Structure 1
Amino acid sequence: MKLPISLKIFSITTALLALMVVVTWLSVLNFRQLNNQVRALSDYYLPLQQQVASVEILIRDQMVHMERVMAGMEVARPDPEFLAKESNAFDMRGINADQIIDSSLRMLGEAEAEKGIALDRVTLAILGRELPLIQTTRQHFHATFRQFQIEAQEGTPRSEKIVRDELLREKDAIDVEIQKTTDILNKLTQDTASQAKAEEARATTLNWIVTGIATALGLIFAAFVTRSLVDPVKRLLGGTRAVEAGDLDVEILVRTHDELATLATSFNHMVGGLREKERIRATFGQYVDPRIVKSLLENRIPTDRGERQVMTVFFSDLQDFTRLCEGLTPDAAVRFLNHYFSLMSEVIRGQQGIVDKYIGDSVMAFWGPPFTDPADHARLGCIAALEQLARMEAFRAWLPEMFGTRQGLPEVNVRMGIASGEVTVGNIGSETSRGYTVIGDIVNLASRLEQANKFYGTRILVSEGTRNLAGETLAFREIDSLRVAGKLEPVRVYELLGYSAELGESDRQRVQAYEAGLARYRAQDWDSAEAAFRECLMNAPGDRPSQVMLERVAAFRLAPPEAGWDGVWVALSK
């Protein structure tokens, strides 16, 4: 029996529609499951993992401050100010750790009340028991440390040893609890990510099946179904290819109300979930420089060994920040530092530098291969220092907004030290926590140069190696020859003044007069040295390095240096 063509077309179309309904329904289920896994990761598992990692870092910091206090109490003449500072830092890290644990527990409470996402509630319940254990163990550790300080101050060696032993045992107990919780979270996120990947694969396969069926039937019945079938399929295929190419901003326009429209909507939901995952990855990039992560993934830098490289290392520190911080609330201090670090880090990364770490109010950064051309790292480091100095004006302009007044604002200045030379660079740390960083004498020298600004009254001091590598586009003034703490060989120290093309005539005369005075000072020609330094002060009355050298000349007139003196000044303080 022959069927009319219209009936055949109707039958095939009906069968196609029925097939599309079934496949679309399965696709929606798969995408819904995928979205469930992604939401579980982004809303709960990854934030919990991040918060536990933050707690671990804060507790590690507490242990570091504890070790410093214990070491400081064992010296012949303990420094009360240093001990008080480290003890206060120990307390602050503990408070912050407890706050984060409380936040994590609230998040677990929210997860328990969440009905729209399928969560691993058994594991979350285990975490709900483990987190208070970490908090309790940390508080016992905190209290034992305070008991140790009391015993040490009262001078009871036997009791002090008992408390010290208990302190070390509780330190190990904290490590065990944190590791247990970290392992639970790692397994939870890995299992959820694997499930999400499997759901994504099933959803993608289903999409291709739908595309293939729709395309084949569209070729057979092109005259009847092309307009309603092929165009949506092409849009869906284009969106799939865009996602495969890494474009997560793609969105398929839904113009109909059929099953393909439902599929397109589900696809858009999937891409939205992928965008959320990418946003989370970008957030982690705020804690580790994305270039380091990319280089590690591409095996452009070794993960288990170090290298010797010529690089430029930078340190900066806010002047009198400790005194300033005493007048700030914790929230204000954090906002103050976050705004300052944002401005400074933006400049460093804009000049191809790597922000290594923040130490209190200090910034450590470095430039060098493979992130910077070997011929440019010293120049870029110096330019970054000049730009940071310029950004301080914008930072000071922000202070009235932060303090809510324009009266009695603190004076905020920054000191910077830059050194260039051979360092050891690599991934340094434990099996579970590593950081890509640099170590060596050059790192120590850069830190000491930053400190040397204090007694020279300068803002940016660089080593001779940096001055030689930076080129002639930048202007420098030789300040002195120093033998810094921790280094036997003397180094010539230069002040970074700015760009050579922008240096005025009075500044050039100041530099010439000072360097002439420095040469006569090294030759022990005190009269000529004094005359040159006074000439420098005539060009720049507030030039602090000239005043420092005049004070030395006066001192050497009264007590001349020993025979064979090489003109090197020994920096006794760090």
Structure 2
Amino acid sequence: VTWLSVLNFRQLNNQVRALADYYLPLQQQVASVEILIRQQMVHMERVMAGRDVANPDPAFLATESSSFDMRGINADQIVDSSLRMLAEAEAEKGIELDRVTLAVLGKQLPAIQTARQHFHMSFRLFQIEAEEGTPRSEKVVRDALLREKDTVDVEIGKTIDLLNKLTQDTASRAKAEEARATTLNWIITAIATTLGLIFAGFVTRSLVDPVKRLLTGTRAVEAGDLEVEILVRTHDELATLATSFNHMVVGLREKEHIRETFGQYVDPRIVKNLLDNRIAANQGEREVMTVFFSDLEGFTRMCEGLTPDAAVRFLNRYFSLMSEVVRERQGIVDKYIGDSVMAFWGPPFTDPADHARLGCLAALDQMQKMETFRAGLPELFGIRHGLPEVNVRMGLASGDVTVGNIGSETSRGYTVIGDTVNLASRLEQANKFYGTRILVSEATRDLAGHTLAFREIDSLCVAGKLEPVKVYELIGLAAEVGDAARKAMQAYEAGLAHYRAQDWDAAEAALRDCLANAPGDHPSQVMLERIAAFRQTPPVAGWDGVWVAVSK
């Protein structure tokens, strides 16, 4: 039984030794080369950025350049070590290896080294041109440097794909050999003595269990679990294989952490669309989108009573809740400006027919989240009395915008610009005039559909815009508006019509009817104050009812 067990597992041991002695060490070394070259790219970017500032720091540039050189030397040394390992594999007669793939690797590794050295020389040439050349020659060399960087990426990718396929195929063959050996071993032990059965079981477990643990770990990594770790209990080839596997998982975990960290600065959907070439990296497009601005009421005054630490905790908590709502409604958080939030909805992230509705729903959801935010202030500040009053104003506008990656050659952001963006910002600020919370443009109201309830507030000529726009207040979901609120909306809109016709008595009566159904309605109070002023000083002839906002 012992002799047959050894014979059955000899082939399995061959596959494991191939993995442990050559394939996984090669994979680990190539991964190290990739990391070193990527570190070179980081140093390159820092040198480029350092030269673009008004007063470059020579010490900083020298340090980054030196680090660039050291990473390149280390990468070449590891490639040379990998080539020596390939030579040892070619001379190895005791293990059955994939000679064809190893031969291809023998050509691919020098290709990586050559591409990296060309990239290194291009960087040196860039530094020379940056010091001594003209801006035009510097740009030519910079473009060549970026092309060489891309070439290095391609060559490393080819090698990693080749090694991944080699290790996966070998692991699959090991699994097949394991299954065959296990089946045959059971047949043998079925007819062997009790002692032979116990001994065969011991040998089987000692050889198969580590492989099963390795395969289980491989499947876990394939499923996205990067917290897996194989326990190493021996000092044989399987232990070496398990140790190499654990090192590989640690590297993958670090890369995933980097991706998650960058995901806090750039929306993952933007990165994915850029990588899939669904967003042009250097072009702008005209799209119909909905743009959103929000701002905390009186935040500057509020900050005067907060410590810096409390202000940061306050804003981080606020932005987390508001951004979560925007992303749940398929929006893109564009930027945070002080205590303000800018976001947008539109293609390719949102259905072209649905962006206005989603933006309005997100605004309503944020209003609900503000209740949660206010309820958490005592725990956030550690006090229960003297808490600041926190309110938010929001503005939404829909229309044509220019969207694309806007910025410098070294730093860009995917954003939207245009008159619609300016209008959304002005509508957010116009809430101060009317005592409202959410104001939207007429285009947003029309595109949002009938599932939402709006009321027209005024015709307004906002700062920075010559054409007047009709401004609407977002009330809520149409199905949830009560009878009193609906009567108040109808009374206000009737009062607005009489106001535009300069029928002050009818307008005042309608607005007071609105206040009877909705006591404390701020827009009605604003319009009543205007009517009182117009009774004293009538508007000029030809007045069209448009209110001009003289300030932001």
TM-score normalized with structure 1 length:
0.67
Distance 1:539 1:14 in 2: 89
For 1:479, the aligned partner's letter is I
The 3-state SS of whatever aligns with 1:451 is helix
Q: Which residue of the partner structure matches residue 169 of structure 1?
A: none
Distance 1:555 1:49 in 2: 66
Equivalent of 1:334, from 276, 295, 312? Answer: 312
Distance 2:260 2:360 in 1: 29
The 3-state SS of whatever aligns with 1:423 is strand
For 2:244, the aligned partner's letter is S
Q: Which residue of the partner structure matches residue 164 of structure 1?
A: none
Q: How much has 1:363 moved relative to structure 2? A: 0.2
Q: Which residue of the partner structure matches residue 224 of structure 2?
A: 247
Distance 2:44 2:358 in 1: 36
Residues 15, 534 of structure 1: alpha-carbon distance in 2 compared, 3 angstrom cutoff: closer
Q: How much has 1:261 moved relative to structure 2? A: 5.4
Distance 1:276 1:38 in 2: 14
The 3-state SS of whatever aligns with 1:328 is coil
Residues 16, 319 of structure 1: alpha-carbon distance in 2 compared, 3 angstrom cutoff: closer
Task: Indicate if the aligned counterparts of 2:11 and 2:177 stay in contact, CA closer than 8 A.
Answer: no
For 2:439, the aligned partner's letter is L
Distance 2:430 2:316 in 1: 26
Q: Which residue of the partner structure matches residue 274 of structure 2?
A: 296
Q: Which residue of the partner structure matches residue 546 of structure 1?
A: 524
Task: Indicate if the aligned counterparts of 2:399 and 2:443 stay in contact, CA closer than 8 A.
Answer: yes
Task: Indicate if the aligned counterparts of 2:8 and 2:181 stay in contact, CA closer than 8 A.
Answer: no
| 562-571 or 398-407, which deviates more | 398-407
Equivalent of 1:445, from 394, 399, 423? Answer: 423
Equivalent of 2:477, from 499, 516, 520? Answer: 499
Distance 2:488 2:44 in 1: 57
Q: Which residue of the partner structure matches residue 24 of structure 1?
A: 20
| 21-30 or 379-388, which deviates more | 21-30
Q: How much has 1:26 moved relative to structure 2? A: 4.8
The 3-state SS of whatever aligns with 2:538 is coil
Distance 2:482 2:4 in 1: 91
The 3-state SS of whatever aligns with 1:288 is coil
Q: Which residue of the partner structure matches residue 377 of structure 2?
A: 399
Distance 2:308 2:326 in 1: 26
Task: Indicate if the aligned counterparts of 1:453 and 1:460 stay in contact, CA closer than 8 A.
Answer: yes
Whether 2:321 is the aligned partner of 1:343: answer: yes
Distance 1:192 1:14 in 2: 39
Q: How much has 1:550 moved relative to structure 2? A: 0.6
Q: Which residue of the partner structure matches residue 412 of structure 1?
A: 390
Whether 2:492 is the aligned partner of 1:517: answer: no
Residues 329, 46 of structure 1: alpha-carbon distance in 2 compared, 3 angstrom cutoff: farther
Q: Which residue of the partner structure matches residue 475 of structure 1?
A: 453
Paired residues for 1:119-198 under 5 Å:
none
Residues 569, 32 of structure 1: alpha-carbon distance in 2 compared, 3 angstrom cutoff: same
Whether 2:407 is the aligned partner of 1:429: answer: yes
Distance 2:2 2:326 in 1: 71
Paired residues for 1:36-185 under 5 Å:
none
Q: Deviations over 1:92-119 (max 9, x none)?
A: xxxxxxxxxxxx9xxx9xxxxxxxxxx9
For 1:283, the aligned partner's letter is T
Runs of 4+ in 1 over 3 A off after TM superposition: 5-23, 25-42, 44-50, 119-124, 190-244, 246-262
For 2:364, the aligned partner's letter is L
Task: Indicate if the aligned counterparts of 1:248 and 1:271 stay in contact, CA closer than 8 A.
Answer: no
Aligned residue pairs, count: 455
Residues 120, 237 of structure 1: alpha-carbon distance in 2 compared, 3 angstrom cutoff: farther
Distance 1:252 1:123 in 2: 29
| 251-260 or 417-426, which deviates more | 251-260
Q: Which residue of the partner structure matches residue 282 of structure 1?
A: 260
Residues 332, 437 of structure 1: alpha-carbon distance in 2 compared, 3 angstrom cutoff: same
Task: Indicate if the aligned counterparts of 1:38 and 1:277 stay in contact, CA closer than 8 A.
Answer: no
Equivalent of 1:508, from 467, 486, 491? Answer: 486
Distance 2:341 2:372 in 1: 18
Distance 2:482 2:44 in 1: 55
Distance 1:336 1:49 in 2: 38
Task: Indicate if the aligned counterparts of 1:358 and 1:364 stay in contact, CA closer than 8 A.
Answer: yes
Task: Indicate if the aligned counterparts of 1:296 and 1:303 stay in contact, CA closer than 8 A.
Answer: yes
Whether 2:381 is the aligned partner of 1:385: answer: no
For 1:360, the aligned partner's letter is G
Could you tell me which runs of 5 or more consecutive residues in structure 1 were left unpaired when the two chains were aligned: 64-103, 109-118, 125-186
Residues 462, 372 of structure 1: alpha-carbon distance in 2 compared, 3 angstrom cutoff: same
| 479-488 or 223-232, which deviates more | 223-232
Distance 2:396 2:386 in 1: 32
Q: How much has 1:260 moved relative to structure 2? A: 3.4
Q: How much has 1:262 moved relative to structure 2? A: 4.4
Residues 39, 410 of structure 1: alpha-carbon distance in 2 compared, 3 angstrom cutoff: farther
Whether 2:538 is the aligned partner of 1:560: answer: yes
Residues 22, 417 of structure 1: alpha-carbon distance in 2 compared, 3 angstrom cutoff: closer
For 1:247, the aligned partner's letter is G
Whether 2:372 is the aligned partner of 1:376: answer: no
Q: Which residue of the partner structure matches residue 144 of structure 2?
A: none
Distance 2:527 2:9 in 1: 96
Identity across matched positions, percent: 63
Whether 2:266 is the aligned partner of 1:270: answer: no
The 3-state SS of whatever aligns with 1:498 is strand
Whether 2:284 is the aligned partner of 1:325: answer: no
Distance 2:18 2:165 in 1: 16
Q: How much has 1:208 moved relative to structure 2? A: 4.6
Task: Indicate if the aligned counterparts of 1:38 and 1:273 stay in contact, CA closer than 8 A.
Answer: no
Q: How much has 1:276 moved relative to structure 2? A: 3.0
For 1:285, the aligned partner's letter is G
TM-score normalized with structure 2 length:
0.70
Q: How much has 1:406 moved relative to structure 2? A: 1.0
Equivalent of 1:532, from 510, 518, 524? Answer: 510
Q: Deviations over 1:409-433 (max 9, x none)?
A: 1100000000011111111111111
